[in-house]
Amino acid sequence: MYTVLNCQISNNQVFDREKFNNWVEKGVAPAIEPSLKLYEDVLNLGFKVILLTGRSERHRSVTVDNLINAGFKEWDQLILR
């Protein structure tokens, strides 16, 4: 399993759910380049792609848009919390 989007919003080590949710809603998480390369290789080899995230179901739409804008254009399943 690989992380595909960089979800670091600050150097603060304390998780703040409200700040995280506000940041998720902006839809600006960049792709992690080695993960994007692996994703492209896996697709080219014909594997099915399942994306799993700790983001909540209420963020599905913004997460889909964020993934597409970051270069993850297709997948077989997206599982949210």
**Whether pTM exceeds 0.75:** yes
- Rounded CA separation 1/18 (Å): 26
Of the pLDDT bands very low, low, confident and very high (cuts 50, 70, 90), residue 13 is low
Please report, for the chain, the start and end positions of each structural domain, with discontinuous segments joined by +. 48-81
pLDDT at 77 over 80: yes
Residues 6+ apart with CB under 8 A from 54: 81
Q: How does pLDDT run across 16-65, given as a tens digit for each residue? A: 899 999 999 999 999 999 999 999 999 999 999 999 999 999 999 999 99
pLDDT at residue 9 in the model: 64
- Rounded CA separation 53/3 (Å): 9
> What b/e sequence results for 48-76 when a residue is b if at least 16 CB atoms lie within 10 Å of its CB, and e otherwise?
eeebebebeeebeebbbebbeebebeeee
